[in-house]
Amino acid sequence: MGSCIICGTDVGGGRVCDSHQEDVVFDFRGDAPDDLVPSRFYRGVVDGYAEFGVFVDLAPGVTGLLHRSELDRRLDSLDWEPGDDVFVQVKGVRDNGNVDLGWSIRQADREFRGVLVQESSGEHLPNEETDTDAADDADGADEPTSEEPAEPEATVDADDGGAAEASVDEPAEGEAESAATEQTDEPEADVTDDEGAEPEGDVDSAAAESAESGGEATVDDAEPAESGAADDEADAEPERVSIETLGDAVGDAVRIEGEVVGVRQTGGPTVFEVSDETGAVDVAAFVEPGVRAHPDVEVGDAVRVDGEVESHRGDVQVESEALVLLDGEGAEAVRRRIAEALTDEARPEGLQPLGGDETVAELADGLLDAAEAVRRAVLESRPIVVRHPATADGYVAGAAVERAVLPLIRDEHAKSDAEYHYFTRRPLDEPVYGMDAATNDATRMLQDRDRHDEKLPLFLLVGAGSTTESADGIDLLSVYGVDAVVVDAAVADPETRDAVDTLVSPELADVDGDETLSTGALVASLASAINGEVRDDLRHLPAVSYWADAPERYVDLARDAGYDAERVAELREAVALEAYYQSYQDKRELIADLLFSDGGNLAAHVSEQFREKLETEVETADANVVTEAVDGVEFALLDTDGYTHRYDFPPTPLLLDDLHRRRADGEPFATVGVGTDELYVRTTADVSVRDVAERARELAPNADIATAGVREGKIEFLSGERDAVEDAVVAAVAESF
């Protein structure tokens, strides 16, 4: 019975347990598609492109299709070339032998926790011999003779992940007692003395054992010094260098000090991500293939690393010769340097609101606090999760933050794919951070913490999370001590002040300004404070975020940036349409193309679809509106179950918004859309949906009426009381005018 290379638990004939199948990448050496295991990740070679996807060879004669629908980006944005090594997930094998592949965000050995070879006969580590290999070696081995004594030989085998194994052949009995040992480039290869004694331990262990409270360590050379000058050179302590300089030091021996911000086990070395006051870098430490090096070193520890800088698959990496756990003054010095640098670098110098918006300027302190929290998370190598509603305004806000943060992450981390590890934008179906969303987030962050040793993330909620309907979701995050920042242009409740670390909202700041400020406009100014270098990219976003009647200052700002009123409208409509489809996905590349890289063709094309779909739905709804007057207020009542397509575009809130704008003429007017167990209210007056719900509960006490979304004017109830609820809400709205 074998053991899992990740957790060590007993497994059957394989080398990885069920819970860690997706943490390991496999080199497939079978000869039939049926040998592939669905859900596993495999290394492959790009064979070629088609209009519908990419063909990837997993082994000679075994090819799969990565369909374009499985990609997290456009097919033509892939930079893969035929012959490139890539990593894919096997989704399934069809009866005809066709292999369906899925996208893998991990595109390097070191991003997996282990590497295994899968053959028809079973699985094994890359450096392990199979029974067949062992038999072949035995048959072809050369036997030493008395006339030709065997020479000691040091060999090093290294896989792509940096794994290595050194061995020294014993001299034949009766031959010379002294055998020269050959020093390899591997930092932790065992060294055998002249008498053939057992190794004294690897360099890392010797360094760790000699480290004192301050973290000092000395390492004896493997060979004797030939002169006093050599002794002086060996005793000299190398100077510490900053991580940001390592890109210019490939091939050099260096010393760095920093804090461990991530640990992952590969099929070869253990990879520690170490961060100092200037950046972060991967440090590879090797003991045995797939075996955890320095098990006493965890995330958050201060360490000193001596090693050689290498370029690994285009990324800078340090191959460790000695990794020492620091404590006492040594650890304190590291943390003090990082803390001082964080304080200096994280706080923006100031806030310059886009368009000179005075309302935004009055919120400067809160926005600077929010910007500092985001920048500090980047510098601390803490993942950032942005949550926003799946609306045009929500997507504009989320995309603004994304535009500002991604360049900072790229500058901070040597890994080329760091932006996918340290930044996530997840749209919300509704502008409420409820228990469903919070449970999903908590599950993901705990998995990432336990499986990949990631820090708990910073949550940035824009246009959501500021109302009492989000209290339960925010509370779940707070149980784990997660930092949460909420930025909302309107509809914030005082009770949320204590629930989150930073709350920015004009509604709670007693500011005098434009009451129609959008979340997209507010967050665009926040993004410019997070990263001033992208300020010019953001100038048109505030205008795009307004569905109607955008303030003139933002219209002028967009025009100065090259976006006239027609172009702004096309962007807004295109984003609104794409926001509806697959609302749970961020659509990072598509949204970025629309808002930042589109010459106009993509937005115009999607916008045309938006108008056609919306117009068709509005015409149908308008023809089935029932009107009535109650206490001087005219009502437009729509049965949304009967006269809307509930599972197609446009969503009900967007449809009712457009219907209300077309029918309202300035008189006391309200639009009410009633469904099976929910309704939406739109009014020309400033009517509180909470007050309406409270009054309706009094009029229909058996309907279990509750406010479900203040921003959307949404009320939920028991479906069996639908008629009573409709009458109660209409009466309550009329009383509110």
pLDDT in tens, 537-577: 999 999 999 998 899 999 999 999 999 999 999 999 999 99
Region at 142 (left for phi over 0; alpha for psi -120 to 50; beta for the rest): beta
Residue count of the chain, please give it: 737
> Which tens digits make up the pLDDT trace of 458-488?
999 999 999 999 999 999 999 999 999 999 9
Alpha-carbon gap, residue 332 to 635, rounded angstroms: 68
Angle between the N-to-C axes of helices 722-736 and 689-699, in degrees from 0 to 180, rounded to the nearest 10: 130
Q: What's the chain's average pLDDT?
A: 83
Three-state DSSP at 640 gives: helix
CATH class of 624-736: alpha beta
Which two tokens mark 736?
């509110």
What percent of the chain has a predicted confidence (pLDDT) above 70? 84
When computed from its CA atoms, the radius of gyration of the chain, rounded to whole angstroms, is 31
Binned at pLDDT 50, 70 and 90, residue 72 comes out as confident
Residue 130 scores a pLDDT above 80: no
The per-residue pLDDT for range 416-446, each reduced to its tens digit, is 678 888 999 999 988 899 999 999 999 999 9
pLDDT at 237 exceeding the cut of 80: no
Q: Is 155 helix (H, G, I), strand (E, B) or coil?
A: strand
Dihedral (CA of 166, 170, 176, 177) sign: positive
Query: What stretch(es) of the chain map to CATH 2.40.50.140?
Result: 18-133, 164-346
Q: Is the pLDDT of residue 211 over 50?
A: no
CB-CB contact of 378 with 384 (8 Å): yes
Residue 201 pLDDT level (bands cut at 50, 70, 90):
very low
Instruction: Provide CATH 3.10.310 ranges for the chain.
Output: 624-736
The predicted pLDDT at position 23 comes to 85
Handedness of CA 337, 338, 339, 342 (dihedral sign): positive
Give the three-class secondary structure for 86.
strand
The CATH code that applies to domain 18-133 is: 2.40.50.140
In this prediction the pTM is: 0.63
Give start-end residues of each CATH 3.90.1640.30 domain in the chain: 347-607
Q: What is the pLDDT of residues 686-727, one digit of tens each?
A: 899 999 999 999 999 999 999 988 888 999 999 999 999 999
**φ, ψ (nearest 5 deg) of residue 577:** -70, -50
Looking at the predicted structure, is the pLDDT value of residue 71 above 80?
A: yes
For the cut 50, the answer to whether the pLDDT of residue 501 exceeds it is yes
Q: At what angle do helices 652-663 and 601-623 cross, to 10 degrees?
A: 70
Please write the tens of the pLDDT for every residue from 345-390: 888 988 999 999 999 999 999 999 999 999 999 988 899 999 999 9
675 Cβ neighbours under 8 A, 6+ residues apart: 639, 640, 641, 646, 652
Residue type at position 667: E
Q: Give the span between the Cα atoms of 207 and 30, in whole angstroms.
A: 43
**3-state SS, one letter per residue, for 473-520:** HHHHHHHCCCCEEEECCCCCCHHHCCCCCEEECHHHHCCCCCCCCCHH
Q: What topology is assigned to 347-607 in CATH?
A: inorganic pyrophosphatase (n-terminal core) (3.90.1640)
Put residue 187 in one of left, alpha, beta given phi > 0 → left and psi -120 to 50 → alpha: alpha
Residues 6+ apart with CB under 8 A from 163: 115, 126, 127, 266, 267, 268, 269, 286, 289, 290
Instruction: Give the pLDDT band of residue 142 (cuts 50, 70, 90).
Output: very low
First vs last C-alpha separation in the chain: 76
Q: Classify strands 502-504 and 626-630 as parallel, antiparallel or unpaired.
A: unpaired
- Whether the bond between 650 and the residue before it is cis, its omega within 30 degrees of 0, is yes
Nearest to 195 by CA among 152, 149, 231: 152
CATH architecture of structural domain 164-346:
Beta Barrel (2.40)
Buried b (16+ CB within 10 A) or exposed e, 530-565: bbeebbebbbbbbbbbbbeebbebbbebbbeeebee
pLDDT of residue 228: 52
Condensed to tens digits (0 to 9), the pLDDT of residues 90-102 reads 999 988 888 999 9
Q: Is 55 helix (H, G, I), strand (E, B) or coil?
A: strand
Q: How many CB atoms lie within 10 A of CB 248?
A: 9
DSSP for 695-722 reads HHHHHSTTS--EEEETTTTEEE--GGGH
The encoded tokens of residue 169 equal: 């052949």
CA atoms of 94 and 508, how far apart (whole Å)? 58
